[in-house]
Amino acid sequence: KNLFSSGLTAMEKKLAEYKCNTNEAIQLKLVRFPEDLEDENTTFNPEYSHQVFGDDEVAFGYKGLKILLYYIAGNMSTLFRIEYTSKVNEKFDCVEADDVESKIREIIPPGFCTNTDDFVSLLEKEVNFKPFGMLLHTYSVHNEEAGEDITYQIYKADMTCPGFREYHERLQTFLMWFIETASFIDVDDERWNYFLVFEKYNKDGATLFATVGYMTVYNYYVYPDKTRPRVSQMLILPPFQGEGHGAQLLETVHRYYMTSPTVLDITAEDPSENYVKLRDFVLVKLCQDLLCFSPGKLMQGFSQEMVMEAQQKLKINKQHTRRVYEILRLRATDMGDAEQSRSYRLDIKRRLIGPYK
């Protein structure tokens, strides 16, 4: 018995060395210059890999496993390679290594590079890449590191733009790594709208475009002649997160639909906490100058006027208007004043009790 159990632990120990955390093994890059390939600072890792590698987020059978997924910054052309220092062998170890390659191939479209030389020669053609669709908004952000203002542009694209379908297939693979419950959409449904954020950058005197993030919106039909756009997916790529691009994108999308007389209001599908924070920020920014949200009116409570005005002018639905009202009223309330703070708290309580009544 002892012999057997000690033998098992030695075997277990050996096999444990062949387990790799896939969130660490997967190395992502957005490449602008050939030297980015060697630069560890340009590498980032997934937040999630459970949709591809199971809930444990483990790949078995390799030591020192590296799953390289490098993308050219603009058109998202892909390099996919697997490297490892050693691999279990069925003959000797009587176990089989996970087929990592086929798992990745299931989510990345065919036509990727498998060696660096091919990838670098594609990189040289990147100067020809231009954003898809129609320019909606340009803004700039001051970058401390570069010591200059960087220009960003937001475009609305659709599947009729040449090359966009293939580009979108490459871009959407990022959803798997950064959205917990990601799924790919049916691009043949014409009710999808796509909004893309690009950064302009210089390379050898030419202006190039790098992909920053994107949003997909589905246009639901509302009887008899209206639509209700619903935000489905939104991702700002990790190297650009925390710079305000999400707010720029969401506000631009809102403004795009605001001009359309057939749009009722904008909703979102199963929004994450981060998305709700972002939306609160953007909607409050849009609403704060409406007359119905003036401090005097806020103190009188939530009104039908607020609902109407926010929906008609800004395409904001009732539920979100209520949130905006509570945030703006809190800003106008002196919480140090017993009467004002009591009145605010009661107002929130009434909303919470409402459904139970």
3-class secondary structure for 269-283? CCCCHHHHHHHHHHH
Q: One of 269, 305, 309, 339 is an active-site residue; which one? A: 269
Class at the top of the CATH hierarchy for domain 284-356: mainly alpha
Residue 83 annotated in active site: no
Residue 4 binned pLDDT confidence (cut-offs 50, 70, 90): low
* Residue 141, phi then psi, degrees to nearest 5: -130, 135
The token duo for 123 is 């990189």
* Cα(76)–Cα(70) distance, integer angstroms: 9
* Cα(197)–Cα(143) distance, integer angstroms: 17
Residues 250 and 216: beta-carbon distance below 8 Å: no
Q: Where are the domains of the chain?
A: 12-124, 130-169+178-270, 284-356
Residues 25 and 48: beta-carbon distance below 8 Å: no
Residues 107 and 52: beta-carbon distance below 8 Å: yes
- The share of the chain scoring above pLDDT 90, in percent, equals 87
Residue 1 binned pLDDT confidence (cut-offs 50, 70, 90): very low
> What's the CATH superfamily of 130-169+178-270?
Gcn5-related N-acetyltransferase (GNAT) (3.40.630.30)
Query: Which range (65-74, 90-99, 205-214) has the least confidence?
Result: 90-99
Residue 32's nearest CA partner among 108, 109, 113, 127 is 127
* Residue 235, phi then psi, degrees to nearest 5: -145, 125
Each residue's pLDDT tens digit, 283-311: 999 999 999 999 999 999 999 999 999 99
Each residue's pLDDT tens digit, 142-172: 988 888 999 999 999 999 999 999 999 999 9
Q: Give 12-124's CATH code, choosing from 3.30.2140.20, 3.40.50.300, 3.90.360.10, 3.40.50.720.
A: 3.90.360.10
Q: Is the dihedral of CA 159, 161, 165, 167 positive or negative?
A: negative
* Cα(80)–Cα(35) distance, integer angstroms: 18
Each residue's pLDDT tens digit, 77-132: 999 999 999 988 876 677 888 999 999 999 999 999 999 999 999 999 999 999 99
pLDDT of residue 235: 97
Each residue's pLDDT tens digit, 12-52: 777 788 999 999 999 999 999 999 999 999 999 999 999 99
Q: Is the dihedral of CA 268, 274, 277, 283 positive or negative?
A: negative
pLDDT of residue 49: 96
Residues 152 and 198: beta-carbon distance below 8 Å: yes
Report pTM: 0.92
* Cα(201)–Cα(180) distance, integer angstroms: 31
- The share of the chain scoring above pLDDT 70, in percent, equals 97
pLDDT of residue 5: 57
- Within 13 Å, how many C-alpha atoms sit on residue 66's CB side? 13
